[in-house]
Amino acid sequence: MSEPALQAEKRDAEDELAPLRSRFVLDEVVYLDGNSLGALPANVPDRVADVVRREWGALRIRSWDESGWWTAPERIGDRIAPLVGAAPGQIVVGDSTSVNVFKALVAAVRMAGEDRTELLVDATTFPTDGYIAESAARLTGRTLRAVTPAEVPEALNDRTAAVLLNHVDYRTGRLHDLPSLTAAIHARGALAVWDLCHSAGALPVGLDEHGVDLAVGCTYKYLNGGPGSPAYLYVRRDLQPRFDSPLPGWNSHAEPFGMSPSYAPAPGALRGRVGTPDILSMLALEAALEVWDEVGIDAVRAKSLALTDFFLHCVSAYTEPGRVESVTPERHEERGSQVALRCADAGEVMKELIARGVVGDFRHPDVLRFGFTPLYVGFADVERAARILGEVLA
């Protein structure tokens, strides 16, 4: 047995999170794409079947009250809150990440005031965030400037209304410094809007601790909510009375069943709701989040770093020098829960890896991306993935 394989065996035996693997539907494939779509939690199918057959099939419309459908967006938001360092009452679940980015950005501009005429957006952002930022700027009559996160402190000025940043770069896995960047944004009187899609459920975020104004995130990656599961919106408690949503739907009305022709916003995080909640996927998400009742985010972060460190070690052991280049930072404080490797024929390499039972993904033009979900990925998975990568590259 090779040195990395012996290490993997020892580490798996010592892993306090290893029992959680049984809480997911897995097979012999090494699944390292949970940063795109998390694995299926084993309790979700029965929960969804009950929702369909009993709550919808038997109770029908009574379930809005008797089964708690109506309060699901804020109830599930409170389950997500500890994973991103937020107290209850500040997160509402619903809509997509893109829609929530739009709500957050336009609301931030409205709170910033008319003299704040510029929006800053992460130049390395996932494309949809950039598209939404451009539209929000156009609709609010602001200018938009794209800068890298490192350039934000120097780019800020007295005209900056808000800054939209990604906590983790989706290509490279680089973790940006949320505390210091938020502090810099606040020092210039602007609002900080953070996209947590690639960090929530993988590492501590600290929204309340660091005074983040607004945040959004998806739930189908490290939170394992399922394909297209609803996203969430965080609005810091003291900002909620000023949160002016650009999408004032009936679900966020102070009296949603009053059917008033004029809009009056509900109090608190409920202002982030829009239309009728997507109950089937929302309750699947609620079931998926039950696994977090047994684990803390700090333990998940510790294992995440151990997994990514071990993967880089194994890649070095199994591949020829110079065949691949890691573009993920080595320093723990700059690394999310993924490793991105650059190689010239990355697209074909990933196809062959998948054919051999190692599932990651390819990012144009030359990046192999591997996501490590500590709830169900083990060290033997990591060793096997690196060993097969070495075989494919050879």
Give catalytic residues, as residue numbers.
Answer: 126, 195, 220-221, 369
Burial of residue 80, with CB atoms counted within 10 A of its CB: 0-12 exposed, 13-18 middle, 19 or more buried: buried
Cα dihedral angle (28, 34, 37, 39), rounded to 10 degrees? 40
Strands (E), the chain: 24-25, 30-31, 40-41, 91-93, 118-122, 143-147, 160-166, 191-195, 214-217, 232-235, 325-326, 338-342, 358-359, 361-363, 367-371
CB 274 within 8 A of CB 93: no
CA distance 243 to 108: 8
Structure tokens at 160: 């900056």
User: Which is it for the CA torsion 98, 99, 101, 102, positive or negative?
Assistant: positive
DSSP 368: E
Query: What are residue 25's DSSP bridge partners?
Result: 40
